[in-house]
Structure 1
């Protein structure tokens, strides 16, 4: 059994990672300020500490109280549009606070650090699928804040021996197949839950941004990876850190258009997705698809829930059973 710290463990991907770690018999300490996460999302069996990563003394106390085998850092702001309006806030939350956690880890003798990064570090790609060698040119402060932290971690390895894995998520989707956790954002910006909520009558009709892209059906194409597969990838990279730091793209390696996602929701639910078409959003590339060949080759990780219908079905089951999500969010 190992002991892990998970920052952001009350959030979407974080709560599924905590479940996966607990299922494997590990001890988990969750640190989350509940600004976007939910206390009810933290699985029973995990130790929960409500704290913000700007609280340096709190972090030092946590690392003094527990000896961790690795840190999984998932706490972050992640809304692209918001980052354009509040760039300094995103740099503080996603860069400065991430550095705080890394410094506390080094001071506490924990030299394995897994960073939740993003495909936004690539900006508008010149070609797909996107490999780790593709040019990184973020087009928003969110992507830039994550890329800067990746670069800071590279220097931390040379200076302090902190070995890191930067996991560049593409589109996280789905829910725990056993129904123990799901996706509950406010506001909800992800396509699959928005389509499901519209179909259930819990949200307005789905707004389709752009139907004239140079794609097979004119709508934007994205790579959807099941949230439990993302969680498994965090664990799969740990042995690889014995050889040094890594950066991996995390996706299914297959793209699905907005219309294909809507069709999957309709197949799973037996209902039509109410929707309306609109113009493109500025800065949205036609297609974002990952090449996950490197993490597959170096760790043996493989998506276990690769079917779009399976991804949608787990999400549908969660939202149908939890029309209010996790309920009222606790005050931070």
Structure 2
């Protein structure tokens, strides 16, 4: 097997590429470097600079490297940006996927792993979200991920491609400090950023129907997520047919206030958070049922939330030395 990983120089993608290569898989990366960082990848992993929207490039790369499987992570992924730029999100996330699947089918590739998101579920009123929970995305980003799943399964049926869709919950942490998330869009780096600038962390709403009034989320260590990709790729390589869609989470909820308190313990900065009004569209609770992934992929998360925060903080300090105030 030779795996093409699109978006493989990104925060999640580089973890996936490294994890697969470390376990003996042959991988190469395609990334447009709009958010990817080439130095996240070791020299042993080839990097092609390009976009999944470039059909001619895709066909050449698939042929020249004798690719036999694809892991597709390349996508735009900011919810607020998707609300402001819906056409861009549909063009890049769905259009890029369509172009890639066309090239995959033409090349006769029979294994495809798609990076989806828990955003496909929207705001379900359930204790645990299973793969059978109805999907009702609340943003163009979530819509593009759901449409992407539909497209992956349709192409799989039409062209005999075995497919897996992984629905990520909230990703945090870093396997190594240099691989840490450099964006400030997810809650952990957002809190780090506020503390580094001497500002109080923000909590959006403390009147939800949860034990402490703040939203409850399922957090997954990015290294565990990478291991889930490896497990799914090996399932495909082993000859599994048809399509599989699974949640990737820990199956345990952590409230925003609990997470902010833990971040204070890890960083040593216990500045009290500011409570601001709710943000539109935030679900009170979004926690995965991870039972199907354990059954179908023989995978389960091994790392806890403290390990996520501690590893993320080491990466943050590496990239922001001013944050380490002793």
TM-score (norm 1): 0.92
Contact 2:177 2:312 in 1 (8 A): no
Deviation readout 1:296-319 (Å, 9 max, x if unpaired)? 0112101121x2111111111111
TM-score (norm 2): 0.94
Deviation readout 1:164-211 (Å, 9 max, x if unpaired)? 1110000011001x43411111xx111111122333x14743221111
Displacement over 4 Å in runs of 4+: none
Q: Using the alignment, how far apart are the partners of 1:295 and 1:273 within structure 2?
A: 38
Q: How does 1:212-251 map to 2 (within 5 A)?
A: 212-241=207-236, 242-251=240-249
Matched, 1:209 2:207: no
Q: Using the alignment, how far apart are the partners of 2:43 and 2:17 within structure 1?
A: 10
Would the alpha carbon gap of residues 206 and 159 (structure 1) be closer, same or farther in structure 2, given more than 3 Å must change? same
Q: Using the alignment, how far apart are the partners of 1:257 and 1:79 within structure 2?
A: 21
Matched, 1:72 2:71: yes
Match of 2:191 in 1: 195
Contact 2:29 2:46 in 1 (8 A): yes
Match of 1:35 in 2: 34
Deviation readout 1:200-255 (Å, 9 max, x if unpaired)? x1474322111111111111111000001111101111343313210001101001
Q: How does 1:1-332 map to 2 (within 5 A)?
A: 2-176=1-175, 178-185=176-183, 188-199=184-195, 201-202=196-197, 204-241=199-236, 242-273=240-271, 275-305=273-303, 307-323=304-320
Q: Using the alignment, how far apart are the partners of 1:286 and 1:55 within structure 2?
A: 40
Contact 1:84 1:141 in 2 (8 A): yes
Q: Using the alignment, how far apart are the partners of 2:50 and 2:83 within structure 1?
A: 26
RMSD of equivalent CA atoms: 1.6
Contact 2:181 2:189 in 1 (8 A): yes
Which SS does the other structure have where 1:213 is aligned? Answer: coil
Deviation readout 1:49-106 (Å, 9 max, x if unpaired)? 1101111101111011011231110010111111111111111111010111111112
Contact 1:262 1:273 in 2 (8 A): no
Q: Using the alignment, how far apart are the partners of 2:321 and 2:92 within structure 1?
A: 28
Contact 1:220 1:286 in 2 (8 A): yes
The gaps in structure 1 that reach 5 residues or longer are: 326-332
- Which has the higher mean CA deviation after the structures are superposed, 156-165 or 239-248? 239-248
1:274 Cα deviation after fit: 5.5
1:150 Cα deviation after fit: 0.6
Q: Using the alignment, how far apart are the partners of 1:34 and 1:262 within structure 2?
A: 31
Q: Using the alignment, how far apart are the partners of 1:231 and 1:203 within structure 2?
A: 33
Q: Using the alignment, how far apart are the partners of 2:80 and 2:258 within structure 1?
A: 24
1:282 Cα deviation after fit: 0.5
